[in-house]
Amino acid sequence: MADRALDRHEAARRAHVAPPDWRNPAPAGRYDLVVLGGGTAGLVSAAIAAGLGARTALVERAELGGDCLNVGCVPSKALLAVGRAAAAARDAARFGVATGPVEVDFAAAMERMRRLRAGIAEHDSAERFRGLGVDVFLGEGRFTGSDRVEVEGATLVFRRAVLATGSRPAVPPIPGLSDVGFLTNESVFDLAERPARLAVIGGGAIGCELAQAFARMGSRVTLLETGPRLLPRDDPDAAAVVAAALSRDGVDVRTGIRIERVEPADAAARLAM
């Protein structure tokens, strides 16, 4: 379902956040701070500590920049901007502006997203943080004592440690889901083709963002939430405004839903509720 093309933008992003030729430095004697996790919290912690003169090490097992840069804020806002432009064009007639049918070039929209993401990646790069005085270690960290972490065979001894390992998508235990395949925020931005139909399970902030973006780009979207309303952690009045806006964009919003199972259906999947 997903296909991350290794185009020049992706190559540039990876060269910053997971450089294939990166060589971890020799560990210092004792670090004042070791940070595990190179996402937003970890990068800020490492940069501030190094700026204050602390001997600092940063450990990342996947890609620097974490969710925000790679599979969260940056790519989602890039697609939301595409959706906003398409919606504005479709609504232009009320301003006296005549337009024809509005179609989104999905491949071009995704290429733009990759270009923007690659341009920002430099700020979270291993090279930049090395320049800030941080020892950057790429690899999986493992505590081997109360004051030491092992990374790729090297031992980092520390006075203090920060755990900023972030989060992962929570996959609901729906029978049949793993058999038909699914997307999460870690893979949806790798799509090469726009899905004709898309079911979004979860009416939180990320689910609402994805539902609106893909609906405005031309997908037929159904947004499913088990609770009585969207955005359960936010103000009810604000959630109602969001639900109304999604409905205007053509999203089929369903709350109070219990998904019993997922079944294959030709080249797609069917949700039984």
- CA separation, residue 193 to residues 1, 196, 216, 237, 269 (Å): 9, 9, 15, 35, 17
Question: Mind listing the pLDDT tens digit of every residue in the chain (273 residues)?
Answer: 344 456 999 999 999 999 999 999 999 999 999 999 999 999 999 999 999 999 999 999 999 999 999 999 999 999 999 999 999 999 999 999 999 999 999 999 999 999 999 999 999 999 999 999 999 999 999 999 999 999 999 999 999 999 999 988 888 999 999 888 899 999 999 999 999 999 999 999 999 999 999 999 999 999 999 999 999 999 999 999 999 999 999 999 999 999 999 998 877 788 887
The Cα–Cα gap between 19 and 265 comes to 41
Give Cα 140 to chain centroid, integer Å.
20
At 6 the pLDDT is 67
From the list 93, 261, 264, the residue with the least C-alpha distance to 272 is 261
Q: Which residues contact 117 (CB under 8 A, 6 or more apart)?
A: 9, 13, 69, 70, 74, 75, 78
Percentages helix, strand, coil for the chain, rounded to the nearest 5?
40, 20, 40
At 107 the pLDDT is 96
Q: What does R_g of the chain's alpha carbons equal in angstroms?
A: 22
At 270 the pLDDT is 80
**Cβ proximity of 161 and 34 under 8 Å:** yes
Beta strands in 86-165 (DSSP E): 134-138, 141-145, 148-151, 154-163
Output the six-digit token pair for 195.
């899905």
The Cα–Cα gap between 257 and 273 comes to 7
As beta bridge partners, residue 33 has 56, 160
Give Cα 229 to chain centroid, integer Å.
24
What kind and span of H or E run contains 57? Answer: strand 56-60
Tokens 């090395």 -> residue: 130
Q: Which residues contact 69 (CB under 8 A, 6 or more apart)?
A: 17, 63, 117, 120, 121, 124
At 2 the pLDDT is 42
